[in-house]
Structure 1
Amino acid sequence: MKKISRKTHGIIDYLWAAIMISAPFFLGFTTIIPAAACFFIAALSVFLLSLFTNYELGVWKRLPMAFHLDMDIVLGFILVISPWLFGFYNQIFLPHIVMGAFSIVAGLTSNANSMIKDG
């Protein structure tokens, strides 16, 4: 049984996006362009995905929750490997691993069943 409800996951999504936007500033890696760009792109992706997800906090409800959770897992994996993929691992890597792992765990432990009916 999944532990995180869809509504709680939605709250986490919007908070996660806000943290991802602000983290490069308060952790001091805005000058490491690839590292900061990964956070900004991830934040925008999750924000847009959340707006279009068919769950309690979605606005346009076009994408299934199961797809959203799959994308959380994919995004988390990309964040975890991004320091090595984009070559900034020798400058910063821990925030990417932590936030990526969080995204993976949230994707794996959230309820995908949708109460909201299409149509």
Structure 2
Amino acid sequence: MKPFISTGFYGVLNYIIALTLIATPWLFDLTGVSSAAIFIPIYIGWLQLIMAIFADNAASPIKKFPMEMHLTLDVVMGFFLAVSPWLYTFSSKAFWPELLIGGLLFFLGIFTKKSPFTTKRHPSLSEGGLTSIDSI
């Protein structure tokens, strides 16, 4: 399937998701659930905010971080956030905020343009790294 979310729209949405994640414990009243329910969304929210500021997209003021890496980390963080209520055993008290926001991050990481999961690299581009001749 082709990626259909533009990087500009994704960039704006990423700021909203990051700030929502930072405020999740208070927005959804998770402060009495567990320390994992409080700190995991906050940590991932701050990481998302930092990556959003430095990502190479239209909504970023400092374009230093490659979009491909940002989207790959979104898939990893989205998956971790979505399964964290069951990993840290607070799913009986609250799991919807982490599951929904984690699923959204996972979805955006896959279906945004420049995603390494849905965009094929051009065959003429070098992959970099060592080749068998370089290692001799």
Q: TM-score interval w.r.t. the shorter chain?
A: 0.7 to 0.9
Which is higher, the Rg of structure 1 or of structure 2? Answer: 2
Counterpart position of 1:41: 43
User: 2:48 matched to 1:29?
Assistant: no
Q: Aligned residue for 1:84?
A: 86
Q: 1:25 deviation in Å?
A: 1.0
Structure 1 unaligned blocks of 5 or more: 114-119
2:5 counterpart of 1:4: yes
Structure 2: 5+ residue runs without aligned partners?
116-136
Paired position in structure 2 for 1:116 = none
More helix by share: 1
The CA distance in 2 between the partners of 1:47 and 1:6, in whole Å, is 15
Aligned twin of 2:73: 71
Scaled by the length of structure 2, what TM-score is found?
A: 0.77
CA RMSD in angstroms comes to 1.4
Query: Helix, strand or coil for the counterpart of 2:57?
Result: coil
Distance 1:78 1:59 in 2: 28
One-letter amino acid of the counterpart of residue 52, structure 1: F
| Partner SS state of residue 87, structure 1 | coil
2:42 is paired with a residue of what secondary structure? helix
8 Å contact 2:15–2:49 — kept in the other structure?
Answer: yes
**Identity between Structure 1 and Structure 2 (%):** 26
